[in-house]
Amino acid sequence: MKLELGKIEIKDIQFADSTYIADHVLYVNTAEVESLVLEDDKLLTCHLDVARPGDATRITPVKDVIEPRVKVSGGGEIFPGVIGKVSPTVGEGRTHALDGCCVVTVGRIVGFQEGVIDMSGPAADYCPFSKTVNLCVVIEPKEGLETHVYERAGRLAGLKVAAYLGEAAKNLEPDTLEVYETKPIFQQAAEYPELPKVGYVHMLQSQGLLHDTYYYGVDAKQFVPTFMYPTEIMDGAIVSGNCVAPCDKVTTYHHLHNPVIDECYKRHGKEINFMGVILTNENVFLADKERHSDMVAKLAEWMELDGVLITEEGYGNPDTDLMMNCRKVERKGTKVVLITDEFPGKDGKSQSLADTCDEATALASCGQGNMTLKFPAMEKVIGMQDYIESQIGGWAGCINEDGSFEAEIQIIIASTIANGFNTLAARGY
């Protein structure tokens, strides 16, 4: 499967009478976007705002962040099974991406979670979306909706807007073009027989409301581990449906920009033979954990992998899946490196994962979420600050009258994201 990913650099977003891209500026017809969002009768209001890097602006509570993309050729539609048609599969041909801009969905879903994006100030250093131009889609649900109904409406709103904006790039000439290819298993193994065969075990959140992820539209807790071409993921075959623990949330943007896939492709044909992705989940039912980690190990063996990288999403329950995958894959003779973030307490000295195993001997850390930070007051808030004290990372009394507050960096979207997208790390000396 071969994908050409064309990037159109976006430097600013402006509101206009129609939606188009010119001179690296994305012009957005607000009326069209708002009516697209409000097609869903679960949503009462929608308004748009733009946040730019360097602005004295805070966005909260954030639900998801999505990069607009469009399928140009090769079959399939972006976000298949959710926004696009479920068949054919994606990952082939040409895709265009609006590089440097994001759709950010904003609005309260439950009273204790969803994170913060600061466009400037000390917290901006910890968030990748402080460096992108963001079209914020602020939504409000109708009264009395069940939480899961509103969650779904919010999730689809962001994806619909991203797919709509992506269409503006369909007939443009991209500024850069990157080519990614993974061949069918026997061909791929034969292509670089001298290089170690490396795979990526990609664990998806799948624990329940606000802890879900979707694969071609399927709730991830309902599938068994499977193989994926990495380019399918670049076309939106995986979308986020979770927003608990902002710091290590894998947004839909991060699925499109998975750093493990990115790095493996950079080394593909040079240091490693990147064989593809083993997709699995993090179910609460312990029998699923045993069964699915067995299947992950079986797939790793069947692919004759010499090594795998494993990433998780979340803390606690997923740590058990992480360790089961590690132990069983290692016992099949495949070397494992784990990638995750840590929660070792404010002094950084407590055990940082909720589970461990003897086979877990190599781990790359993506930083620790218990560190605290002072967030200055901002001139503008997109969304609302009413819930800072009860958002993850905040505490009773943490916010001041002027809107400044202190919180753990857990409250910042993707600050310690457990796939290594950010620059936080732990180093041994």
Per annotation, catalytic residue among 102, 127, 136, 243: 243
Closer by beta carbon to other proteins, 45 or else 350: 350
Closest to 130 measured CA to CA, from 424, 345, 422: 422
**Cis peptide before 184, with omega less than 30 degrees from 0?**
no
Cβ 11 to other proteins shortest distance, Å: 36
Burial class of residue 178, CB neighbours in 10 A (0-12, 13-18, 19+): middle
Closer by beta carbon to other proteins, 96 or else 221: 221
244 CB neighbour count, 10 Å cutoff: 20
Cβ 398 to other proteins shortest distance, Å: 11
Phi-psi region of 23 (alpha: psi -120 to 50; beta: other; left: phi over 0): left
What gap in Å lies between CA 113 and CA 246, rounded to an integer? 7
# chain residues binding other proteins, by CB under 8 A: 40
Phi and psi at 199, nearest 5°, equal -125, 170
> Considering only residues 75, 122, 184, 208, which one is a binding residue for other proteins as defined by CB under 8 A?
208
Q: 150: part of which helix (H) or strand (E)?
A: helix 147-166
> Considering only residues 318, 367, 383, 420, which one is a binding residue for other proteins as defined by CB under 8 A?
318
> Considering only residues 35, 45, 87, 147, which one is a binding residue for other proteins as defined by CB under 8 A?
147
Of the CA atoms within 13 Å of residue 174, those in its CB half-sphere come to: 20
Question: What is the C-alpha end-to-end distance of the chain, expressed in Å?
Answer: 41
Of the CA atoms within 13 Å of residue 43, those in its CB half-sphere come to: 27
By residue count, the chain amounts to 429
Closer by beta carbon to other proteins, 85 or else 346: 346
Tokens representing 360? 């877990």
222 Cβ contact partners less than 8 Å away, ≥ 6 residues apart: none
- Residue 153 lies near other proteins (rule: CB under 8 A): no
- Residue 346 lies near other proteins (rule: CB under 8 A): yes
> Considering only residues 395, 404, 406, 426, which one is a binding residue for other proteins as defined by CB under 8 A?
395
Closer by beta carbon to other proteins, 211 or else 268: 211
Site for other proteins in 42-71 (CB under 8 A): none
Check if 366 is active-site: no
Per-residue contact flags (x/-) with other proteins for residues 262 to 291, judged by CB under 8 A:
----------------------xxxxxx--
Cβ 369 to other proteins shortest distance, Å: 9
Beta 69-73 vs 43-51: how paired, if at all?
unpaired
Per-residue contact flags (x/-) with other proteins for residues 353 to 372, judged by CB under 8 A:
-xx--------------x--
> Considering only residues 314, 367, 383, 420, which one is a binding residue for other proteins as defined by CB under 8 A?
314
Tokens representing 376? 């200055």
Query: Catalytic residue positions?
Result: 243
Which residues bind to other proteins, rule: CB under 8 A?
A: 110-112, 147-148, 205, 207-211, 221, 244-245, 248, 284-289, 313-318, 320, 343, 345-346, 350-351, 354-355, 370, 390, 392, 395-396
